[in-house]
Amino acid sequence: MKLGHRIWSMPISYRAPVIVALLMVAVSAAISERVLDRLSRTQERFLDGLAETYLDGLSSAVIPAVLRGDVWEVFDALDRSATSYGALAPLETVVTGADGRVLAASDPGRISAYSELPAAYADRYGPGMVTIDEASESGFARRELVYQGLPIGTIHAAFDVSHLFAERREILLTLLVTNGVLAALFSLGGFLLVRRMTGPMRVLESHMRAAASGAAEPISPAEFPSRDREVASLFRGYNALVHAERERADLAMRLAEEEKVASLGRLASGMAHEINNPLGGLFNAIDTLKKHGTTPGVRDTSISLIERGLAGIRDVVEAALATYRPERSRRPLGLHDFEDVRLLLKPELRRKRQKLDWDVAWTDTGPTLPDGGPVRQALLNLLLNASAVTPEGGTLAFRAGHTDRLVTIEIEDQGPGMPREVLGILTEADPGPAVRAGHGLGLWMVRRTIDELGGTVKIAQKNDGGTMVTLILPLAREGASSHAA
Amino acid sequence: MDGAIHRRREGLTRREFTSGVAATALAAFSPAASGAQEDAFRFGLTPVFLTSDLELLGHLRAYLTARVGGPVELVTRRTYQEITALLVSGQVHSAWICGYPYVQFRDRLDLVATPSWHGKPLYQSYLIAAADRRAEGWENLRGDIHAFSDPDSNSGYLVTRTLLAENRMMPDQFFSRHFFTYGHRNVVRAVASRLAQSGSVDGYVWEVMKETEPDLVAQTRIVRRSEWLGFPPVAAPRSLSGDPRVARFKDALVSMAEHPDGRSVLGLLRLDGFVPTEPSLFDAIAAKVETVRRFG
């Protein structure tokens, strides 16, 4: 089990050859077992046949001599048979008479004529024709000599079967070497094949990793496999995904730009109002100056009017510039940012006859506060949204304050509540799906600003209807310069 | 080595046996050979020491065929007794027998010639034992399993039997067991392989085997040599004494050393030649027969 786990945890280009090698080992073990089994049975059959022939020939040669108890004739037959049955390699042959005594042995020096046959000879036979003793690499066979139905003696024969074992060892060695070489070749082949097969996967993997780190590149046609249609189709699918993603990102960017332009338009028309309103008074004052400029009281009043009107126009223009060219005013968030936002929002509130509850408790404490530019743009966006969803004549609320560690800003509206997917843009960990669906691009820009500043957004439904959005922004730690610096 | 020659006057017309093929020596046992019985000169050979030496038989037959003038059939049998029976009953014209059967049937047999070995028609009987055995004399062989050559052999049985009889013993009393191998060469094999612990063997055969099969003979050693005795002779039934073929056969044997074929036969047998001898050459053997007979 442990081995299995280890194998499964290997990379596939190693796992496949290891499995192939293990399979080969299993197959070769099974084959070797079968081959050796068949071989030993064939050998034993062959040996049985040889022994049978040997004993048949010897029986017919010795029976007359055994009947006469002719020691010499028996020995002569044994002696001659030793050379004529070379294939069998008889080690020792003993012929006994009816009384069980030895008539002659092929080696009389070991077992002499007329002696008792050693007891070991009687016990060494098994049920088959030839009994093989693996320890001594010898085979034993016995043949009763029968004449006219009566037993007249026995032939005890021992054969050298070491060549059978040598042949088995040789074949086993051949099998091991052959199968070992085959297993190694198959494993190497498997390794190369799997590497070749998983090559496209590695191409895909490297592209996906690159995409994850931001640079999604389509797979170049040169890397397409020429023959593997499945992989080619996979690559095409990946490339289609990359193209679609790029188009969507382009679209989102374009939409964001359009949204920006649209909100700019709204602001611009508001600003135009803001500028236009004093313009009427300014022209009246200029007419008054033309007609009654000589009158000192009138002239002073008119010039004062003109001055105030121009100052209002300048404020509006400055607020717009600060908001939409934040790089010009890279300053910590401060009271003037809130005032600018309020100024820019005013035309819209007036148009919809809405009221804004303003509650800002703020002290400008310096560079630990977040950057002012992005925040005021985000606040303007949120407030314009709140104004848009609140009915005419409704009330908005804006509250801002900070402690040593956090800036807290709350915006309330009287709208019907944010749809779930729009809400998600501000609060979900991944705002992607809602943005890709094309919703709330303004809010997405807010979200990006908050993320950049390391803040969070909370959205709550109010009891009287409407929504409260809470921005919580961290202050930089004491001593550290503003992260925007 | 026993032999005898018979004289028969049957026709000499059959020519089937004139070829020099050595294997025809074995054809003596075939039906065709029986059919040739009336025509061929039949020479019986006791189990020669070189039992398998077909080359010798081939040369001998070729030589005799040329010299006797007509087909010659070589007749071999397993035991001395069979050849002796064929000879005495006149079924072979002549036979190389042992001195022992010769003296037993001396009154019915004529000597044709006797081989001469080392210049004399004499040989010895040896008692042999394994080469590594420490036996000073024949007395040390008591209790052995003993191999005799043939019960009708002088050197391979009678000599040892007589030695024991002179000492008032039967072979069964002196030896624990004994058996016959029906061939002197087999006695040497039996002793060399230790099937028998000692054996009685023809000294001439033992000496020749020392040259031809030195490895086998080297496994044995001589324990006792007998006195010199008459060499196994060639004899013929007295009933054929007038047969001219027997006379020609005798000439062929005696003049064997003068002919190339004959010399090659003698060379293979390690003999000098054949000499005419008197029956008295075998008196010593006859005395042994008498000793054994008296002892029982």
Measured between alpha carbons, how far is A159 from A139 in angstroms, rounded to an integer? 5
- List domains and CATH numbers for chain A: 2-173 (3.30.450.20), 251-474 (3.30.565.10)
Query: B220 and chain A: CB distance < 8 Å anywhere?
Result: no
Give DSSP secondary structure letters for A119-165: THHHHS--SSSSEEETTTTEEEEEEEEEETTEEEEEEEEEEE-HHHH
What pLDDT does B38 receive?
52
A58 alpha carbon, distance to own chain's centre: 78
Distance CA B49, CA B189 (A): 12
Cβ separation of B189 and A79 shorter than 8 Å? yes
Cα–Cα distance, A2 to A198 (Å, whole number): 26
Whole-number pLDDT of residue A63: 93
Residue with the two structure tokens 């499964």: A8
Q: Determine the pLDDT at residue A477.
A: 65
pLDDT at A276: 74
Helix (H, G, I), strand (E, B) or coil at A335: helix
Please indicate whether, in this complex, the C-beta atoms of B176 and A112 are within 8 angstroms of each other: no
Rounded to whole angstroms, how far apart are CA atoms B187 and B170? 20
CA distance B47 to chain A (A): 15
Which of B176, B179, B194 lies nearest to residue A72, judging by beta carbons? B179
| Residue A438 confidence (pLDDT) | 55
| Cβ-contact B231, B99 below 8 angstroms | yes
At B108 the pLDDT is 93
B67-106 burial, b if ≥16 CB within 10 A, otherwise e?
Answer: bbebbbbbbbbebbebbbbbbbebbbbbbbbbbbbbbbbb
Supply the pLDDT for residue A380. 81
Dist. CA B220–CA A212, nearest whole Å: 101
Rg of chain A on CA atoms, in Å: 54
**Half-sphere exposure in the Cβ direction for A224 (13 Å, CA):** 16
The residue among A336, A370, A339 whose CA lies nearest residue A453 is A370
So what's the pLDDT on residue B235? Answer: 95
Q: Do A75 and B193 touch (CB under 8 A)?
A: yes
Overall average pLDDT of the A237-255 stretch: 86
Q: What's the rounded mean pLDDT across residues A94-102?
A: 91
CB count in 10 Å sphere of residue A292: 14
Contact check, Cβ <8 Å, A108/B194:
yes
DSSP strand pairing (B229-230 vs B122-123)? antiparallel
Instruction: Give pLDDT tens digits for A104-124.
Output: 998 898 898 999 988 888 888
User: Tell me, what's the ipTM?
Assistant: 0.78
DSSP string for residues in B158-210? IHHHHHHHHTT--HHHHSSEEEE-SSHHHHHHHHHTTSSSEEEEEHHHHHHHH
Helix intervals (H) in A222-330? 229-292, 296-324
Contact B139, B127 (CB under 8 A): no
Nearest Cα residue in chain A from B181? A72
Distance in angstroms (rounded) separating the CA atoms of residues A119 and A136:
18
CB of B179 within 8 Å of a chain A CB? The answer is: yes
Check A72 against B193: CB less than 8 A apart: no
* Tally of CB atoms within 10 A around A114: 15
pLDDT at A484: 41
Name the residue with higher pLDDT: A248 or A263.
A248
N residues, chain B: 296
Considering only CB atoms, which chain B residues are within 8 Å of A75?
190, 193, 195
User: A219-235 pLDDT, tens per residue?
Assistant: 888 888 777 788 888 88
Computed over every residue of chain A, the mean pLDDT equals: 82
Residues of each domain in chain B carrying CATH 3.40.190.10: 3-120+231-279, 125-226
Residue A136 banded pLDDT, cuts 50, 70, 90: confident
CA-based nearest distance B134→chain A, Å: 16
DSSP 3-state percent helix, strand, coil across chain A (nearest 5): 60, 15, 25
**Tokens standing for B195?**
């099937």
CATH 3.40.190.10, applies to B3-120+231-279? yes
Q: Do A72 and B181 touch (CB under 8 A)?
A: yes
| Rounded distance between C-alpha atoms, residue A398 and residue A469, angstroms | 10
CATH 3.40.190.10 describes domain B125-226: yes
CA distance A110 to chain B (A): 9
Q: How many CB pairs under 8 A join A and B?
A: 40
Contact B182 A72 (CB under 8 A): yes
Token pair listed for A133: 């003793």
CB within 8 Å: B194 and A109:
yes
B264 in contact with A at a CB cutoff of 8 Å? no
User: pLDDT value at position A102?
Assistant: 93
* Residue A339 pLDDT exceeds 90: no
pLDDT tens column, A295-336: 888 788 888 878 878 887 887 777 777 666 656 556 778 888
Q: Is B243 helix (H, G, I), strand (E, B) or coil?
A: coil
Which residues on A lie below 8 Å from B196 (Cβ)? 108, 113
CB contact under 8 A, A112 and B194: yes
How many angstroms separate the CA atoms of B279 and B277, rounded? 7
Single out the residue of B87, B101, B99 nearest to residue B43, CA to CA.
B87
Alpha helices per DSSP H over A293-392 = 296-324, 335-351, 372-389
Given this model, what pLDDT does residue B97 score?
92
CB contact under 8 A, B177 and A79: no
Which residue numbers in chain B have pLDDT < 50?
A: 1-37
Residues A335-351: what's their mean pLDDT? 82
Query: Smallest CA–CA separation between A114 and chain B, in Å?
Result: 8
Round to whole Å and give the CA distance between A78 and A58: 7
What is the spatial distance between Cα A394 and Cα A357, in angstroms, rounded to a whole number?
Answer: 11
Residue of chain B nearest A80, judged by CA positions = B189
Cα B18 to Cα B8: distance, rounded to the nearest angstrom: 19
- Of A70, A108, A114, which is closest to B193 when you measure between CB atoms? A108
Residues 6 or more apart whose Cβ sits within 8 Å of residue A105: A75, A78, A92, A93, A94, A95, A111, A112, A113
- Would you say B112 and B4 are in contact if contact means Cβ atoms under 8 Å apart? yes
Q: Which of A210-224, A413-427, B156-170 has the highest mean pLDDT?
A: B156-170
Phi, psi of A390, rounded to the nearest 5 degrees: -85, 135
Q: Note the residue count of chain A.
A: 485
Q: Residue A169: how many CA atoms within 13 Å on its side-chain side?
A: 8
Report the alpha-carbon distance of residue B24 to residue B32 in Å, rounded. Answer: 11
pLDDT at A330: 67
Residue A26, helix vs strand vs coil: helix
- Res A433: pLDDT: 58
In this complex, the residue of B145, B176, B179 whose CB is nearest that of residue A70 is: B179
Residue A70 confidence (pLDDT) above 80: yes
Q: How far is CA B35 from CA A102, A290, B86, in A?
A: 44, 183, 17
Contact between A407 and A370 under an 8 Å Cβ cutoff? The reply is yes
- B195:A70 CB<8 A: no
Give contacts of B195 with chain A, Cβ < 8 Å.
71-72, 75, 104, 108, 112-113
Chain A residue with the nearest C-alpha to that of B149:
A72
pTM: 0.60
Higher-pLDDT residue of B8 and A46 is A46
Over residues A455-474, the mean pLDDT reads: 84
Q: In a 3-state reduction of DSSP, which class is residue A77?
A: helix
Query: Chain A closest CA to B25's CA: distance in Å?
Result: 23
CA distance B181 to chain A (A): 5
What is residue B20's predicted lDDT score, i.e. its pLDDT?
Answer: 35
Substitution target from A68, A71, A92 for chain B, most B beta carbons within 10 A: A71
DSSP state of A428: S
Contact A113 B182 (CB under 8 A): no
Are A72 and B177 an interchain contact pair (Cβ–Cβ within 8 Å)?
no
Contact state of B176 with A104 under an 8 Å Cβ cutoff: no
Report whether pLDDT(A471) > 50.
yes
Contact present, A326 and A373 (Cβ < 8 Å): yes
* Token couple for A260: 């920006």
Residue A482 has pLDDT above 70, yes or no: no
A48 CA: distance to closest CA in chain B (Å): 29
- Residue A406's H or E segment, with its range, is strand A406-412
Q: Which residues of B touch A72 (CB under 8 A)?
A: 147, 179-182, 186, 190, 195
Nearest CA in chain B to A73: B181
Of B177, B182, B190, the CB nearest to A75: B190
Distance from CA of A112 to the nearest CA of B (A): 6
- The model's confidence at residue A478, banded by pLDDT at 50, 70 and 90, is low
